[in-house]
Each structure stands twice: as C-alpha cells, then as structure tokens.
Structure 1
Amino acid sequence: MHATKKAVCWRLFLCSCLLLESSSQDFGGQTQFICTSVPKDMDICAATLQNSVPGEDLKTTVMQLRETVLQQKETIMNQKETIRELTSKLARCESQSGAEPGDARPGGRRKDAGTKNTMGDVSRGPADTLTQLSQTLQSLKQRLENLEQFSRSNNSVQANSLKDLLQSKIDDLEKQVLSRVNSIEEGKPGLRNETEQRGRVESTLTTLHQRITDLEKGQRENRPLDKFQLTFPLRTNYMYAKVKKSLPEMYALTVCMWLKSNASPGVGTPFSYAVPGQANELVLIEWGNNPMEILINDKVAKLPFLINDGKWHHICVTWTTRDGVWEAFQDGVKRGSGENLAPYHPIKPQGLLILGQEQDTLGGGFDATQAFVGDLANFHIWDRKLSVGEIYNLATCSSKAQVGNVFAWMETSLDIYGGASKWTFEACRQLN
C-alpha cells in the first residue's frame, strides 16, 4: 500500500479509537477498543469506515486529511521551484563576480598580488606604452646630459667620445622604439602579440642601460665605494635597487639616509623590507597626500618630515620593540616621537630589502604610484637605537659618524634594475 495511504489509514484508526474512547466516557469513563476482523483482500480504510461508529465524522476527517496532504504536496512543489530559481540566480551571481578583477586593498599598500610586469601595467594600450618608453628615453637623455657636464668639468677627450657614442646609441634606440610602437598601433603582420613586442623593447632598453652603466664606470673608477647616490628619475614599477643580503632578527633599529626629491604628491617609497607572509615588515613611504609613514609589521606611525623641496635632507628613524617606542630626526634635529608601534614584535629575518619601490609581495607587486622619485644616498641600518649625538654627527658629516652594522652603504652591496643610475655623491659637499 502507498505510504501516504497507509498514513491516512493509521490516522483514521486513531481517530476511531479516540471517538470510541470519548463515547465510552458516557458509560462510566471506561475506555473500550473495538477490533473488527477484515477479509484478507479488503481495503483496510474502507473496512474501518464501514465498521466505525461515527461514520459521518470519520468521512469528514478523511476528506480533511486528504485535502491537507494535497496542500502539503503543492507547498513542497512550490518550495522546490523556489529553490531551483534561487540556485540558478546564485550561480549567475557567482559567475559574474568571478569574472571581475580584484579590488585594490585600502591604502594602496595591500592590493592583491599579481604577476610582476617589468615594463608597466599589462592592461595598457600602445599609446600608454609609447608614453612610458618616452619617459624612459627622457631619463636616458638626462643621464647623457650629466655625462656631458662631467666632460666639460673635467675637459676630458675620452669623456667627449663616450658622450658622442652614447648620443648615437640613444638616437638609434629612439628610432627603434618609435618604429616598433607604430607597428603595434597599426597592427602590422609578423608580430605575434603585444606582449612579445614589449619583451623585445624591454630587452633593447636593458641592453642600453647596461651600455650606459659601462660608460659611467669611467666616472667612478677612482672614487670610494660609499661615495655614490642612486637616482630614480621616473615614477615607474621597474626602477629599483635590491640589497644583496637580508636583515637579521632585530629587537631595536636605526635607519638613516640622505634624500632629495621634489615629487608631488608624495615622494614615494625610499625603501621597503618584506618577509615571507608579511610584505610590510619594515617600510618608509610617503604616498598620495598622506604624510610620510614608517610601517613595522603593517602597523603605522606618521612621521613629521617635510623633505620634497628639491634639497638634500638627512633623516633618521629609531625604534625599539619594547613598548614600540620610536623617534624621528630630520637634519640632525628630533622632530617627533611616539610609542605602541608594533610593540614586542621583532623585525623578522630572511626577507628582501628593496630601495625605490614598495613591495606588495616578497620581491614584487610594485605599484608605479608608490615608487620613489628623487635621489637617495648613505642608507645605513643599525640593530640598536643610536643616540641623539650619533645622529647629529651623521647629519653634520662629523668625523665621528659611524656606518651601519647591519647594512652599510656600498656599491658592491646593491644590484640596480630598470635604469636607476648611480652618480658620485659626497654629503659634506652638499652641506657647503
């Protein structure tokens, strides 16, 4: 017998018993159960109806139960249809949201990691590529002018010949770049895709940068290894310097450097130190219209520095893990202090220290809008808090000034990428 039919019959049987029990109360309150034999092939429900005492009431009950069952079936069908519609809508929403690009995280420093692109945003069209390459060429021409000034100041025939050679190379490269970008814009056959073409242009630029570096060696053959500055002339996502060794675990630190910039808004990121699992382990950044900030383990302290006036400034930041106490010095003078900056969190080892770019992933995820623009020199790190007197000696080029015991400013300690250049620099001359 069908399950629903069985359930109806059982309910009918129970109703019969209850009615009999109710009727029996008129005869002294005693309950009686009446059992009636039913032929083997006879419908139990029909037999129950036949033998029940209050037949009309039971018929009404059966009709009500059947109506209830039909209503429940109809409700279940409606609910199933609603579930199917909601499931279909959810699937469409998921497919649409999956196709949308990830949003940048607040502050611009924590966006989703993507594949590093050494020539800029891969979503840019040929016109944007031409603009980017033109800026790079301007950087190279600026370096050529610097070489020319060097030749005039030293009255060197060799420097003049190097200058002529460099001018010729830049002219040739400019023609090649313009020709190749025009080919991209016109969609000429023979080029597989824009990505391949950009790779060729980048390779050409890298070769030229290497040639310029070789030419510049003539200027620095006789200078000390620490008498140099790094120049980042453009706000890009491919110009940077990488420190060859990592930092040790530190419970206190002092970071000092010379900076020169007139970039606006914000000078960018002079340095960033990332470790596995934490891209903002130690970062100095001035981005957008925000003041300069020091980040330790992604915790932030605002620094009272004003340096984007196109002049050289000496800045130092000290920090200790106990209570997260920090101090900020500009040009040898204490400008601000605070506490509770990543308290009791030691700076982690085995990371990567980058000059000129902010890391959103370990060694990558550079954003051109956060890149440093300007000159940087005499970058030093200590694993202790320097005294006020020691910092003043550094800012005034005192003979008692020390070098960093964790990282000391040396040409041999850095690898340079993307066209950032090195020039002779002596801090004491800048002060005179």
Structure 2
Amino acid sequence: MSFVGLSVLALCWTCNAAAQFGLRDQVLIFPYETDFSYVALIPEKELSLRAFTLCLRVATELPEERQIILFAYRTPDYDELNVWREKDGRVSFYMSGDGAFFHLPPLGTFRTSLCLTWQSGSGLAAFWFQGRRSAYQVYKPGHTIRPNGSVLLGQDPDKHLGGLEAEQSFVGELTDLNMWDYVLSKSMIQGWHNGEAWIPKGNIFDWASIRYELSGNVMVVREY
C-alpha cells in the first residue's frame, strides 16, 4: 500500500483506547488483518433508527474471495447493522437476521465512495456506488434499528465487543464516514460523492467532528 502524500499522525499499538475528536482530511489505515485492531465510533445520538443514510470512502487490496466487514453496529443480542463485502464480491448489509445482497462494481485499490440508504416505511434499500444508485430492494419494512450498542470499524464482533476474527477484519483505508438518521436525496448523495461543501453534516456521525477510540494497530494519517 502506497503512503505517498500522507503523513503519519497517530499509531496505536496497544488497546489503551482514549476518545479523540475529528478526522477531517484524515484517513484510517488498517495495515494487515488482526483479531484485535478496530476503531470504536461514538455517535452524536442514539441509533434508534427507522431510516438512515451511511456513506464512506473505502480502498482495499484484499482479494474478492475474502469477506470484509465495512461497518458493524451491534447491541448485546443482535447485529443491528452490518455492512459487508461478501466472499463472492457482492456488497451486503444485515439488520438482525438475513441480509440484502447487491451486485456492485468491485471494491479495489482505488478509493470508492459508497453510500447505503434504507427506510422502514417502504423497506426500500439501495447502495450508491460513486454517486450512482443500485437497483432498489425491499428489505425489512417496518423494522427499527435498536439503540444502546457499539459501532466498530475494522472488526465484526460476534458478541458485544468480543468474538473478533482476523479472517473477517478489514484491511485497507477508510475515510469520510458520515451517517444521517434519514434518507438523503439523490442530489445530496451525488454532492457528497463530489466533495461539495453544501451537504448537511451527518447528525449521527460527521467525519470532521467524529468522536472515536483507536484500539490495536490502526494508523491515522493526514492527506495533503
């Protein structure tokens, strides 16, 4: 993985997690697979959700046949919202049970903007790849995502903050993660993809002011 144009700001080798604030113009790098490295995100409000938009930018050189966790939100008893790249290359998300699977262009070494939208009333769900929407799927109409859990990047907890597996860990770069408790319009998602400043800040997670805790071998680097 190339680090041209990046300067190392922080590197956490142990699990002495302490809350930090704000990742504007910064990238999280997970250098290799582990069963102990992750970033815990602290939301601005409880994740009691009947709609959401989740956006991030991602790059990875892991082969397509390797399952990768992209986002994990778990309460003590349930995987409330997990986003994956599956072993067959599809991108999926799960809310307390069976998932919804989408055929998207492959994730790779060049950074990809990826958004996911879902609303409970209709169950309409879609991924947005580089500002372009996938076909809609109807997934879990009437469902509510429950609060009082933990959000992790880099690992999939099989129990609340435990049961981590190296073979599912994320390896690569993550940046610009934002989350809203409503579905953004097409123009807003395309504006976010293009880096436009008028897009409303994520009211659950805003990358510029996000609160987070590093654990294990995770690097934070600044882009020039």
- 2:100 aligned partner, one-letter code: A
Alpha-carbon offset, residue 148 of structure 1: 11
The CA distance in 2 between the partners of 1:363 and 1:300, in whole Å, is 21
**Structure-2 residue corresponding to 1:298:** 97
**Structure-1 residue corresponding to 2:219:** 421
Shifted more, 411-420 versus 351-360: the winner is 411-420
**Structure-2 residue corresponding to 1:409:** 207
Supply the RMSD in Å over aligned alpha carbons.
2.8
**Structure-2 residue corresponding to 1:98:** none
Q: Residues 401 and 425 (structure 1 numbering): CA distance in 2 closer, same or farther, change over 3 Å?
A: farther
Q: Residues 326 and 148 (structure 1 numbering): CA distance in 2 closer, same or farther, change over 3 Å?
A: closer
Does 1:289 pair with 2:97?
no
1:305 alignment partner, SS class: coil
Percent identity between matched residues is 22
Residue from 192, 196, 206 that aligns with 1:394: 192
Alpha-carbon offset, residue 354 of structure 1: 0.4
Q: Check the 8 A contact 2:130/2:193 in 1, yes or no.
A: yes
Alpha-carbon offset, residue 395 of structure 1: 0.4
Q: Which runs of 4+ in 1 moved over 3 A?
A: 145-151
Structure with more of its chain in strand, by fraction:
2
Does 1:383 pair with 2:181?
yes
The CA distance in 1 between the partners of 2:32 and 2:212, in whole Å, is 20
> How many aligned residue pairs are there?
216
Alpha-carbon offset, residue 370 of structure 1: 0.9
**Structure-1 residue corresponding to 2:156:** 358
- 2:29 aligned partner, one-letter code: T
Alpha-carbon offset, residue 368 of structure 1: 1.0
Alpha-carbon offset, residue 250 of structure 1: 0.9
**Which of 1 and 2 has greater Rg?**
1
Q: Residues 238 and 410 (structure 1 numbering): CA distance in 2 closer, same or farther, change over 3 Å?
A: farther
Residue from 62, 65, 70 that aligns with 1:263: 62
Task: Render the CA deviation track for 1:381-427: whole Å, top value 9, x for unaligned.
Answer: 1110111000000001122223211111146511011111111137x
Q: Residues 307 and 400 (structure 1 numbering): CA distance in 2 closer, same or farther, change over 3 Å?
A: farther
Taking structure 2 as the reference length, what is the TM-score of the superposition? 0.86
Q: Check the 8 A contact 2:7/2:222 in 1, yes or no.
A: no
Task: Render the CA deviation track for 1:305-356: whole Å, top value 9, x for unaligned.
Answer: 23432101101110011232101110111122110x1221111011110011
Structure with bigger RCO (C-alpha 8 Å, 6+ apart): 2
Structure with more of its chain in helix, by fraction:
1
* Structure 2: 5+ residue stretches without partners: none
1:255 alignment partner, SS class: strand
Alpha-carbon offset, residue 304 of structure 1: 2.6
* Structure 1: 5+ residue stretches without partners: 1-141, 152-204, 211-223, 427-432
